[in-house]
Amino acid sequence: MTDTSTHAAPPRKRSILDTLELDTRLLGMIGAFAVLCIGFDLITEGRFLTPRNVFNLTIQTVSVAIMATGMVFVIVTRHIDLSVGSLLATCSAVMAMTQTQFLPDTMGLGLNHPATWAITIVAGLITGVAIGAFHGWLIGYLAIPAFIVTLGGLLVWRNVAWYMTSGQTIGPLDSTFMTFGGINGTLGETWSWIIGIMAVVLALAGLINARRNKARHGFPVKPLWAEAFLGALTTAMILGFIWMLNSYEIPVRRLERMFEARGEIMPEGFTASYGLPISVLILIAVAIVMTIVAQRTRLGRYIYATGGNPDAAELSGINTRMLTVKVFAIMGALCAVSAVVASARLTNHSNDIGTLDELRVIAAAVIGGTALAGGIGTIYGAILGALIMQSLQSGMAMVGVDAPFQNIVVGAVLVLAVLIDTIYRKRTGAKR
């Protein structure tokens, strides 16, 4: 067949891509991300791809990325959620008030009591799920368009948060709670390697298992070298990321303070690294769970089916109204998780927490290939989308682009990404 695809890739290379059965869309996004990173690194003379900046970039992305995975489900079912930033603020306010006022006043559990952080997070999750499910009920059962319900929610929940905290910044927060924010909670070198190696083992086991399953049913499988290559690539990427985070050393003065706090004296020449932040671990866990839900559960199957053809889903006996409630409840839960990460990172609850996050989250999902027409979208795409947006923003800040131009560029990139995606889909659609 004639090769009409993008880029002037030679036919041989195309066949290799086909053999690997890799998603060319994903490759395109990774390519764009790589170009972005290397470009900024060259312009800033190597300041962009330092362990320190990679670390910061990662922890800045987590909050938006977590919500973006939920936004994929919302958009795939042909809805939209404009209230996620405000919902994050309400969850954050509930959690801040729970740990600083409610628990100390009513149960006598002070800040830093071992149960405080857990009760706080449960309270936040309940708030998020309840509000999300309520949105879903209004949309699914009362048939109010999601745009309107969540536009109302944007105003309502932002100001519920304001009312609850009287507009004050609430802090400091529980010390265990704050470990979920990023810099204040990292695993250190050894544990980061252990987690990294566990991830490699799981990924390889997944590859082998998938191959066995296919072979058992007599389906065609990839050649062994292709599987081996994919395995090696995954391993290299996971371990490379861990190595990068492990290279970011804790500043000497901060280390000295940590030793002082324990009443010890720091040995001469002692060094330690931050390693994997707990917030990134949360994001990875969310990504894995959401991917399993999307690909391996009935709920996920029904979400995509409903997005592809709501009538067909209904006629197949799927309760699409209840499905809407579930999708928005998941979105609410993820807003609560993001609220934990965001307020812990800031070490307090501020009145403007999560402002404009709804736009970042929607943009991340859309840049990641989620189609607003519904039925199409991936979890990893949304996370990559969030990462691309954050890199663009912090890269431009590092280069010294003026603030207005930063937003102009981000806006233009959003539109351009959707344009490229539309063209790509047309081409591949025609090829089939």
Among 2, 108, 143, 219, binds another protein (CB under 8 A): 219
Least CB distance from residue 301 to another protein, whole Å?
A: 6
- The interface region with another protein, picked from 37-45, 298-306, 392-400, 413-421 by CB under 8 A, is 298-306
Residue (14 or 47) nearer to another protein, CB:
14
Rounded to 10 deg, the angle between the 379-399 and 51-76 helix axes is: 140
Residue (56 or 291) nearer to another protein, CB:
291
Cα dihedral across residues 366, 351, 52, 270: positive or negative: negative
C-alpha to C-alpha distances, 423 to 3, 31, 125, 198, nearest whole angstrom: 15, 17, 40, 39
Q: In the range 186-215, which residues lie near another protein by CB under 8 A?
A: 213-214
Per-residue burial over 139-166, b if 16 or more Cβ lie within 10 Å, else e, is bbeeeeebeebbbebbebbbebbbebbe
- The interface region with another protein, picked from 124-132, 134-142, 270-278, 304-312 by CB under 8 A, is 304-312
Least CB distance from residue 298 to another protein, whole Å?
A: 5
- The interface region with another protein, picked from 52-60, 66-74, 84-92, 315-323 by CB under 8 A, is 315-323
Two tokens at 308? 């592809």
Nearest CA-CA partner of 175 in 101, 100, 108, 248: 100
Residue (29 or 313) nearer to another protein, CB:
313
Q: Does 313 interact with another protein (rule: CB under 8 A)? A: yes
Return the SS3 of 186.
Answer: strand
Q: Does 316 interact with another protein (rule: CB under 8 A)? A: yes
Residue (57 or 318) nearer to another protein, CB:
318
Q: In the range 68-127, which residues lie near another protein by CB under 8 A?
A: none
Q: How many residues bind another protein (CB under 8 A)?
A: 32
Q: Does 1 interact with another protein (rule: CB under 8 A)? A: no
Upstream peptide bond of 310 is cis (omega within 30 degrees of 0): no
Element (H, E) at 392: helix 379-399
**Which residues, in sequence order, are CB contacts of 32 under 8 Å at separation 6+?**
388
Tell me, rounded to whole angstroms, the distance of Cα 117 from its chain centroid: 22
Nearest CA-CA partner of 148 in 359, 156, 353: 156
Least CB distance from residue 362 to another protein, whole Å?
A: 20
Residue (137 or 302) nearer to another protein, CB:
302
Q: How far apart are CA 133 and CA 238, in angstroms?
A: 36
Per-residue binding letters, 250-289, with another protein (x by CB under 8 A): ----------------------------------------
- The interface region with another protein, picked from 216-224, 228-236, 237-245, 401-409 by CB under 8 A, is 216-224
Per-residue binding letters, 364-383, with another protein (x by CB under 8 A): -----------xx-------
Cα dihedral across residues 357, 362, 365, 367: positive or negative: negative
Residue (264 or 311) nearer to another protein, CB:
311
Residue (174 or 421) nearer to another protein, CB:
421
Do 368 and 29 meet the contact criterion of CB atoms below 8 Å apart?
A: yes
Least CB distance from residue 213 to another protein, whole Å?
A: 5
DSSP code per residue over 340-369: HHHHHHHTSB-TTTTTTHHHHHHHHHHHTT
Q: Does 245 interact with another protein (rule: CB under 8 A)? A: no
Least CB distance from residue 300 to another protein, whole Å?
A: 8
Among 136, 153, 300, 368, binds another protein (CB under 8 A): 300
Q: Does 143 interact with another protein (rule: CB under 8 A)? A: no
Q: Does 305 interact with another protein (rule: CB under 8 A)? A: yes
Least CB distance from residue 432 to another protein, whole Å?
A: 4
Q: Kindly report the backbone phi and psi dihedral angles of residue 186, in degrees, each rounded to the nearest multiple of 5, phi listed first.
A: -125, 160
Two tokens at 260? 């002082």
Rounded to 10 deg, the angle between the 320-346 and 298-308 helix axes is: 110
Residue (269 or 317) nearer to another protein, CB:
317
∠152-155-156 over CA atoms, to 5°?
Answer: 80
Two tokens at 386? 């969030």
Q: Does 385 interact with another protein (rule: CB under 8 A)? A: no
Among 23, 41, 249, 314, binds another protein (CB under 8 A): 314
Binding site for another protein (CB under 8 A): 213-214, 216-219, 292, 295-298, 300-302, 304-309, 311-318, 375-376, 429, 432
